[in-house]
Structure formats: C-alpha cells, structure tokens
C-alpha cells in the first residue's frame, strides 16, 4: 500500500505544471523517493508529519520554474497542526499571526504604504511567481527543526541554482543566515540579491525592518521587463492596481 507522502510525490510528478522542477536531480536520482519512504515509515509509526501530505510540494506546484520571478526562502514549516500549508512563512492557522510573518507583513505595509493585512496566507504571492520555499519541506508536530537533516536541503540548493540558471531576471530575497548562505548559488550578473537579517523578533541585530525588500524587488523587476508583484494580500486579479501607487 502506497503511503501518503509517496502518493503526494506521485501526484506531483503527474502534474504537467511541475515539469521544470521534476527535472532537478533531487527528483531523478532517488532522493525524493527516499525521503518519502522515510516519512511514510514515520507516519506509520504514529508520528504526525506536517504539512498534510498533499501540501508538501505546494511551493513548487504554485510557482512553476518557468514562471518564477522572486524567491523567498524559509527554514521549515510551522510545527503546530493546521498552521502550515506548504509555503514558506505562509500561515493558515486560526490564532494570531506568527511573529516572523507579522514582522514581514508590517514591513510590507510600511514599505508600500498599504494596510497591514489580517491574513497570513501568502498563496497569492506564490501564484504570481514568488517561490516560497522552505529548506525542509516537512516537520514533525510540535518539534521545530525535526527534518532539517532529512535530505530536503538538496532540493532547496538545486531549486535556487535552477532558478538562477534558467530564469532571466529574478529577485532573490534572502532573510537570515541559512538563506543567505545560498547567495553563492545565484548569478548576480543576471539577478537581484537582497540580503538582510531574519524577520524573527529573536534577531538581536534587528536588521530586517526598514530594508524595503518589496518595493526594491518590484522596481528592479520593472526595470528588467518583468511584471511587478502585487504584494497586497487583499488584491484579486479582478481588482485593478491603484494608479497612484502601483507597488501596493
């Protein structure tokens, strides 16, 4: 009987929109299958793995390689059941926004002169080509960092390198030490790399607020012939962008 994660991996491979990502060595050399098998063994043994299996590859499915124009890297999913849905920093829980996400959205609102959103669901960013990729796609319930050494890091490395090699102009927003280490994988002659501290309130340097990554990314994308990203979370494709402030 196929386990839940193996089934989710099979569905990912069957999705025509994931062709670019499926060409990565991670999905061709057995790495993905080995992780899926390991996770399904843990689930069979009673471990609760998050996010739900069908959401594990959401970041790659919502932002196909051929459409990526911005990259934001996270660490691993929220460890509380019901909070994570496969996108870095994105939150669908029912409590207050997680501190790091609250800081991100406050910076976005200040940067662009927009209202601070009440929702933490960043799916609209992903659908516009923002790759919201965690360096570990899974975690165990109530155990942060449990899967950081499971083998997922190879996928993050390969995804960043593939975006750098195959896309013409991408804004990489690298927040915090683990994300910034991957700057070496990016061709700075082609792409914008914005590095700063992590948005976590535990960041003692407090070097995230005031960096204006959203407006800087949009200005650079526009200069390079790419459609700016609509960062507002209350925006819908049917609603026109405000002419007075095209960045928000």
Q: Which residues are marked as active site?
A: 76
CA–CA dist 192, 171 (Å, integer): 5
Q: How far is CA 175 from the centre of its chain?
A: 12
Cβ contacts of residue 141 below 8 Å, gap of 6+? 47, 48, 49, 50, 79, 80, 81
Q: Which DSSP string corresponds to 154-198?
A: HHHHHHHHHHHHH-SS-EEEEESHHHHGGGGGS-TTTSEEEEE--
- CA of 46: how far to CAs of 34, 90, 102, 160, 176, in Å? 19, 26, 33, 33, 33
Query: In a 3-state reduction of DSSP, which class is residue 26?
Result: helix
Question: What region does 166 belong to: left with phi over 0, alpha with psi -120 to 50, or beta?
Answer: alpha
Q: Which DSSP string corresponds to 76-114?
A: S--SSTTT--SSTT-B--SSSPPHHHHHHHHHHHHHHT-
CA–CA dist 7, 131 (Å, integer): 23
Helices and strands in the chain, H and E counts:
10, 6
């Amino acid at each position: 009987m196929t386990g839940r994660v193996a089934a989710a991996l099979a569905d990912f491979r069957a999705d025509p929109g994931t062709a670019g990502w499926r060409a990565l060595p991670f999905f061709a050399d057995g790495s993905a299958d080995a992780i899926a098998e390991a996770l399904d063994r843990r689930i069979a043994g009673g471990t609760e793995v998050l996010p739900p299996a069908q959401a594990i590859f959401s970041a790659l499915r919502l932002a196909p390689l051929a459409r990526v124009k911005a990259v934001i890297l996270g660490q691993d999913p929220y460890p509380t059941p019901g909070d994570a849905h496969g996108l870095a920093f994105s939150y669908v829980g029912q409590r207050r926004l997680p501190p790091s996400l609250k800081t991100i959205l406050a910076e976005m609102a200040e940067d662009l002169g927009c209202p601070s959103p009440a929702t933490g669901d960043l799916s609209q960013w992903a659908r516009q080509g923002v790759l919201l990729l965690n360096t570990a796609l899974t975690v165990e319930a109530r155990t942060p960092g449990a899967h950081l050494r499971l083998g997922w890091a190879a996928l993050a490395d390969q995804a960043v390198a593939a975006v750098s090699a195959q896309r013409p102009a991408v804004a990489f927003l690298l927040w915090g030490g683990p994300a910034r280490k991957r700057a070496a994988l990016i061709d700075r002659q082609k792409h914008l790399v914005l590095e700063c501290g992590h948005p976590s309130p535990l960041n003692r340097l407090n070097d995230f607020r005031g960096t204006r990554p959203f407006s800087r990314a949009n200005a650079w994308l526009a200069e390079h012939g790419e459609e700016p990203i609509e960062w507002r979370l209350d925006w819908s494709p049917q609603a026109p962008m405000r002419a007075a402030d095209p960045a928000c």
